[in-house]
C-alpha cells in the first residue's frame, strides 16, 4: 500500500475537478497544477502550487511547453525503491509525485467540428500524453487518472482507502492509461493518414458493449463503438450480435432509396421490399414478397411510421423496426409487445473503409458507394427497356447490391418479387428466385432481373425468358457476354450493362 502525498493535475475540462480537489485537500495531498487548472483550484479556496514554481520555467511557446521538465517527469518516473533514483531526488530537489490526473485536449472532437488544420494541430496534446505514459510506466509507485471518465472510480478509491492505493489499483489504472494514449495516437495517425495514405491499418473503438452472446449462444460477443450516434432505442429488449448485423444491412439498404420504401430483412438479406406513394402501401407490398420469411425479421423504412401503418405492422411477429420517426399513436401500438425492439434512426456517416478479420490478419476495402442511375445504364440489345422498366431495373439493382452473392433479384412494379441468395451458381440463384415467386403466386410476365455479377453463359437469360422476364440488368464483363446478348436479341428481351459488379460475401 502506498499513501498519496502529492498530486499533479493538468486537465482540459474542469468538470468535477472541484470534487476531486476537495477530497485531495481533505487528505492533505500537496497539489501541483498548470495554467488554467491552477487558477480554477485556487478559486475554490484550495491551496495549490504552480508547476512553474517547481521547474523555475514559465509556460512557453504559447502554452505548448508547460510540464516537459526533469523536475516534473523525474518526480513521476523516479523509482522509490531504487537507491540511485532516490539519490537523484535529493541531489536535484525533485519532489515525488504519487498521483497524476490528466484530461487530454479534445483532438477527435476538434477534427469532427472543424476543417481548420491550425486549430486541429493545436489540439494534439504533447505534455498531457507524456504525463500519462510516464505515470503509467511507473505504476508501481504512481497512480494515473487519464480521463475525466475515471473520476468516479478515483473518488471511490480515495474515500474507501483513505488516500492509499495498492499495486493492483495502480496497475489497473495504468492499463486504462495506455488504452487512452493508444486511442489518442491512433486518432492522430488516422487524421494525418487521410492525406498520407500509408498502407497501415489502425483502428481504436470504444466504448465496449458486452452482448448477450455472439453469433451463437456458446460464443461471447461484443460491440465496440457508440450506437447512440446511429439510433435511439425507444423500446424492447437488448440488441444482440445477430441483430446488429441485420441492422447494418438494413440501414445500408434503405439509404439507397428516396421515395417511401419499406424493406424486411432476414440474415442480412432483403426478403421483402417495395417503394410506393405511401408508407402503408410500401409495407403491404414488401410483406407480400415473402410473408413466410418476414416472420421474426428486421423491418426498416425511410419514412415516419404513422398509426395506420403501425396497425398493419403489428399483425406480424418481428424482432426489430427502425425508422426515422413514429407518430405517437403508431408508436403506442408498436410498443404493445414488450420485447419488440423499436429504434429511431439518426443521421450518421458510415466509415469510408470496411474491414474484416481473416486468417491471422485483417482485410480492408473501400465501402461500395456506387449506386447506379439511369444514366449509368448501357443498352446492349436491339430492344431498349421502357422508362417503366428502367425504374424497376434500378430498383432491382439496388437490392441485389445488398444481397449475398451469388445473387439474383426479380422485381416488378418496384416490388421485390423474389430473390435467389448466396448460391454457389448463378443459375441456382435464378431457379431459387423463380420457384419462390411461384410459391407466393407472382406472375413474372413483365418482371425484370438483376444480377450482382456477369453471366458466364446464356443459360440464365434463357431461364429468365422462359419465366416471363423481359428485361435484365447486369455488370457485363464476361468473355461470353455476346452469347447472352444474342439470346436477348433473338427473343425480344432488353439488357443493360452497368460496368459495376456488386459481390457481397
Spatial CA neighbour of 449 closest among 478, 407, 477, 481: 407
Of 12 and 253, the one with more pLDDT: 253
Q: Report residue 57 as a C-alpha cell.
A: 520555467
Instruction: Return the SS3 of 103.
Output: strand
Largest CA distance in the chain: 97
Query: Does pLDDT of 58 surpass 90?
Result: no
The conformational region for residue 252 under phi > 0 = left, psi -120 to 50 = alpha, else beta, is alpha
Query: Does pLDDT of 418 surpass 90?
Result: yes
Instruction: Return the SS3 of 449.
Output: strand
Give the residue-averaged pLDDT of 376-382: 97
At 427 the pLDDT is 97
Distance CA 482, CA 230 (A): 45
Query: Does pLDDT of 461 surpass 90?
Result: yes
Cβ contact 302:313 at 8 Å: no
Give the residue-averaged pLDDT of 467-486: 97
Query: Does pLDDT of 57 surpass 90?
Result: no
CA dist 343 → 56, 314, 326 (Å):
57, 15, 10
Spatial CA neighbour of 447 closest among 429, 428, 432, 466: 466
At 395 the pLDDT is 98
Percent of the chain with pLDDT over 70: 100
Per-residue confidence at 13, pLDDT binned at 50, 70, 90?
confident
Cβ neighbourhood burial of 196 (10 Å; 0-12, 13-18, 19+)? exposed
Distance CA 499, CA 476 (A): 6
Q: Cβ neighbours of residue 467 under 8 Å, at least 6 residues apart?
A: 434, 437, 444, 447
- 166-216 pLDDT, tens per residue? 999 999 999 999 999 999 999 999 999 999 999 999 999 888 899 999 999
Give the residue-averaged pLDDT of 397-406: 97
Which residues does the annotation mark as catalytic?
Answer: 137, 267
**What's the mean per-residue pLDDT of the chain?**
94
- 145-166 pLDDT, tens per residue? 999 999 999 999 999 999 999 9
Three-state secondary structure readout of 201-212:
CCCCCCCEEECC
Around Cβ 41, how many Cβ atoms within 10 Å?
23
Per-residue confidence at 342, pLDDT binned at 50, 70, 90?
very high
Spatial CA neighbour of 317 closest among 289, 300, 293: 293
Comparing 12-26, 173-187, 310-324, the range with the smallest average pLDDT is 12-26
- 262-303 pLDDT, tens per residue? 999 999 999 999 999 999 999 999 999 999 999 999 999 999
At 100 the pLDDT is 96
At 384 the pLDDT is 97
Distance CA 429, CA 439 (A): 15
At 352 the pLDDT is 86
Amino acid at each position: 500500500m502506498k499513501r498519496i502525498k502529492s498530486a499533479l493535475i493538468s486537465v482540459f475540462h474542469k468538470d468535477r475537478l472541484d470534487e476531486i480537489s476537495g477530497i485531495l485537500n481533505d487528505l492533505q495531498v500537496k497539489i501541483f497544477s498548470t495554467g488554467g487548472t491552477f487558477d480554477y483550484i485556487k478559486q475554490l479556496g484550495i491551496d495549490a502550487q504552480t508547476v512553474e514554481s517547481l521547474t523555475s520555467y514559465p509556460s512557453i511557446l504559447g502554452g505548448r511547453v508547460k510540464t516537459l521538465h526533469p523536475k516534473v517527469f523525474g518526480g513521476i518516473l523516479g523509482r522509490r525503491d531504487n537507491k540511485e533514483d532516490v539519490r537523484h531526488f535529493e541531489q536535484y530537489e525533485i519532489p515525488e509525485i504519487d498521483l497524476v490526473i490528466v484530461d487530454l485536449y479534445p483532438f477527435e472532437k476538434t477534427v469532427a467540428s472543424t476543417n481548420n488544420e491550425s486549430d486541429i494541430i493545436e489540439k494534439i496534446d504533447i505534455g498531457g500524453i507524456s504525463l500519462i505514459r510516464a505515470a503509467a510506466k511507473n505504476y508501481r509507485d504512481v497512480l494515473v487518472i487519464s480521463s475525466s471518465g475515471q473520476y468516479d472510480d478515483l473518488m471511490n478509491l480515495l474515500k474507501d482507502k483513505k488516500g492509499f492505493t495498492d499495486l493492483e489499483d495502480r496497475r489497473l489504472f495504468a492499463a486504462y492509461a495506455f488504452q487512452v494514449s493508444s486511442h489518442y495516437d491512433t486518432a492522430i495517425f488516422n487524421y494525418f493518414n487521410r492525406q498520407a495514405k500509408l498502407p497501415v491499418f489502425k483502428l481504436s473503438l470504444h466504448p465496449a458493449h458486452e452482448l448477450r452472446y455472439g453469433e451463437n449462444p456458446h460464443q461471447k460477443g461484443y460491440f465496440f463503438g457508440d450506437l447512440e450516434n446511429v439510433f435511439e432505442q425507444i423500446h424492447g429488449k437488448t440488441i444482440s450480435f445477430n441483430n446488429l448485423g441485420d441492422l447494418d444491412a438494413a440501414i445500408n439498404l434503405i439509404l439507397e432509396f428516396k421515395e417511401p420504401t419499406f424493406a424486411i430483412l432476414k440474415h442480412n438479406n432483403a426478403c421483402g421490399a417495395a417503394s410506393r406513394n405511401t408508407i402503408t402501401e410500401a409495407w403491404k407490398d414488401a410483406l407480400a414478397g415473402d410473408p413466410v420469411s418476414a416472420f421474426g425479421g428486421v423491418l426498416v423504412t425511410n419514412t415516419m411510421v404513422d398509426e395506420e401503418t403501425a396497425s398493419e405492422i403489428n399483425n406480424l411477429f418481428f424482432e426489430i423496426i427502425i425508422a426515422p420517426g413514429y407518430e405517437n399513436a403508431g408508436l403506442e401500438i408498436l410498443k404493445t409487445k414488450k420485447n419488440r425492439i423499436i429504434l429511431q434512426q439518426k443521421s450518421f456517416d458510415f466509415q469510408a473503409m470496411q474491414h474484416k478479420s481473416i486468417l491471422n490478419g485483417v482485410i480492408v476495402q473501400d465501402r461500395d458507394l456506387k449506386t447506379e442511375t439511369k444514366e449509368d445504364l448501357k443498352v446492349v440489345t436491339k430492344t431498349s427497356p421502357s422508362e417503366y422498366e428502367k425504374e424497376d431495373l434500378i430498383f432491382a439493382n439496388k437490392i441485389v447490391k445488398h444481397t449475398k452473392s451469388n445473387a439474383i433479384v426479380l422485381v416488378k412494379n418496384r416490388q421485390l418479387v423474389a430473390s435467389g441468395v448466396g448460391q454457389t451458381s448463378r443459375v441456382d440463384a435464378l431457379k431459387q428466385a423463380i420457384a419462390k415467386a411461384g410459391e407466393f403466386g407472382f406472375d413474372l410476365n413483365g418482371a425484370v432481373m438483376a444480377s450482382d455479377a456477369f453471366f458466364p453463359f446464356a443459360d440464365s437469360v434463357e431461364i429468365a425468358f422462359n419465366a416471363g422476364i423481359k428485361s435484365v440488368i447486369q455488370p457485363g464483363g464476361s468473355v461470353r457476354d455476346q452469347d447472352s446478348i444474342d439470346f436477348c436479341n433473338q427473343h425480344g428481351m432488353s439488357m443493360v450493362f452497368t460496368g459495376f459488379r456488386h459481390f457481397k460475401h
